[in-house]
Amino acid sequence: MSGSRGLRWPAALALGGSLLGLSFSASSTLDYIRHLDRQVHDLHCSFIPGLTAQEGADSACRVAMYSPYSALFRESFWGGIPISLFALGAFAFFAAFALYVLLADRHAPRRAAHFLFVAGLTPLAVSLMMALISAVRLGVFCKTCVGMYISSALLAAGGVWAFLEDRREARAAAWSSATPRPAGAVGVGPTVPMAPLGVAGPGGAAAAPAAQGRRPMGSWLLLPPWLVALGVAAVTPALLYASALPSYERYMTGCGKLEKPTEPNGALLHVKQAGAVQPATIFVDPLCPTCKAFHQRLVAEGVFEKLDATLVLFPLDNECNWMLSQPVHPGACLVSRAILCADHRALDVLEWAYDNQESLLEGARAGAGAANVQAAIRQRWPGFDACMESKATTLRLNRMLRYIVDNKLPVSTPQMFLGETRLCDEDTDIGLPYAVRRLAPALRTR
């Protein structure tokens, strides 16, 4: 049609967005799959899919992957079914559909443009929901996730553009059909309306450009098969993934027992939540980044609120820990003493240490060292000085360390025992809901 832009450019935009989303979702899925060996691996966290790998327990992409929102059915499958698999299937379908519209162009029915418009908004709706969760719940935006958000926006933009172009063509065709035709010559007889140019009229003339290649509407019966194809494409990768997962049952109870669950001198801290249903013993270092991340996962999964917890402080700092020759987390001994002095506020001080971990570690490693940490504690928790320097506090912390030695535990944090069974280190991140359900059924996560 003369002057018509067709659906090629909108379809090309939708195709580009779909292929970009396919790349990001594939990169995210591969990162997730690498962790199925129960080890920790680097993550590809970049605005260019798969370009760079990042280490660290608190990188934005790792926070997102370890969060409760990264996968479905996490209690039924170790690690759950990553939502990136559903994105992978959906983007693959939209890439194929956009390619079909692009190649078919004028032969594609108008229903195709309408479907691309409506169905193409669904990935954007999911992306907006996940972006809101990232902002409100996680407080970080992983680059791979943002890449999928942008891809969804491009796909949706292509669908909207296709719909608007279809409407423009329909209006142009309707306007052309309604335009009055020139009347016949006066006095020559009855007026014969002129056939549009390019349309075979009474005299066999060709139809007018306005009617050339007019796009067919297509039957509404096309929509159900397309919707079914989209659904099948979205769930098929997830079904294949679930069918290929190995069994992890045999690993759940193979990481040891707490040989001496009681400490005769009452040195351990007891933190019982209102809804506690499961005894647990947790060994933590207040300045350990992995302990902080583990605590946040327990809270986010709804597990911590159900624990009748015994806290054992395990500072990886040679200032008080004779098991070390060099400090791993300098300042941890001072913070541990402050926690012991907090009495019923022990959990509050521990969570304060987690929240201010970076600044406390930075102060401990600076010139003044211990004085910086002491000043930070004094500012937030005044009145602890005498208790922290007392022999009773030193003795209590020493008894905690002796309790660790008596149980022959590795010099590592965090460690958690549900009852007397140790939660494997490999199950403290993406496998946490699965392992918890099997070791302590009363802790079924929400």
DSSP assignment of 190-238 equals S--PPPPTTS--TT-PPPPGGGTTPPP---GGGHHHHHHHHHHHHHHHH
Which of 433, 440, 417, 415 has its CA nearest to residue 425? 415
82 with 138, same domain: the answer is yes
167 with 61, same domain: the answer is yes
Structure confidence at residue 211 (pLDDT)? 45
User: Does a structural domain hold residue 259?
Assistant: no
Beta bridge partners of 310: 270, 281
Structure confidence at residue 179 (pLDDT)? 62
Tell me: cis bond preceding 182? Omega within 30 of 0 counts.
Answer: no
154 with 227, same domain: the answer is yes
> Residue range 151-173: average pLDDT?
93
134 has pLDDT over 90: yes
CATH of the domain at 14: 1.20.1440.130
Query: Where is average pLDDT lowest: 21-25, 122-126, 204-208, 213-217?
Result: 204-208
| pTM metric for this prediction | 0.81
340 with 380, same domain: the answer is yes
Which positions ≥6 away from 189 have C-beta within 8 Å?
A: none
5 pLDDT band (50/70/90 cuts)?
low
Encoded tokens for 57: 């327990």
CATH of the domain at 400: 3.40.30.10
Tell me how many domains the chain contains.
2
334, 368 contact by CB (below 8 A): no
At how many degrees (to 10) do helices 8-34 and 143-178 cross?
160
Which of 316, 333, 334 has its CA nearest to residue 325? 316
Structure confidence at residue 218 (pLDDT)? 86
* Secondary structure class of 282 (helix, strand, coil): strand
236 with 355, same domain: the answer is no
Beta bridge partners of 72: 81
Structure confidence at residue 180 (pLDDT)? 62
pLDDT digits 0-9 by tens, 199-240: 444 444 333 443 445 678 888 899 999 999 999 999 999 999
Structure confidence at residue 200 (pLDDT)? 42
Domain boundary among 228, 243, 258: 243
User: Does a structural domain hold residue 151?
Assistant: yes
Question: One-letter amino acid identity for 40?
Answer: V
Rg (CA), the chain: 32
Q: In which domain, by residue range, is 356 found? A: 269-443
User: Does a structural domain hold residue 209?
Assistant: no
18, 94 contact by CB (below 8 A): yes
> Residue range 283-303: average pLDDT?
94
User: 367 burial class (0-12, 13-18, 19+ CB within 10 angstroms)?
Assistant: exposed
Give dist(CA 10, CA 101) in Å, integer.
Answer: 9
> Residue range 42-60: average pLDDT?
71
31 with 140, same domain: the answer is yes
Structure confidence at residue 55 (pLDDT)? 55
322 with 368, same domain: the answer is yes
235 with 274, same domain: the answer is no
296 with 420, same domain: the answer is yes
User: Tokens 């949706």 map to which residue?
Assistant: 156
> Residue range 40-60: average pLDDT?
72
Structure confidence at residue 365 (pLDDT)? 93
Half-sphere exposure of 52 (CA within 13 A, CB side): 9
User: Does a structural domain hold residue 183?
Assistant: no
Structure confidence at residue 52 (pLDDT)? 65
277 with 329, same domain: the answer is yes
User: Does a structural domain hold residue 250?
Assistant: no
191 has pLDDT over 50: no
Which of 270, 259, 258, 360 has its CA nearest to residue 317? 360
307 with 341, same domain: the answer is yes
422, 256 contact by CB (below 8 A): yes
193 has pLDDT over 70: no
149 with 282, same domain: the answer is no
Work out the widest C-alpha separation in the chain, in whole angstroms.
124
295, 304 contact by CB (below 8 A): yes
Give dist(CA 34, CA 153) in Å, integer.
Answer: 28
User: 410 burial class (0-12, 13-18, 19+ CB within 10 angstroms)?
Assistant: exposed
User: Does a structural domain hold residue 308?
Assistant: yes
Structure confidence at residue 446 (pLDDT)? 54
Encoded tokens for 224: 């159900």
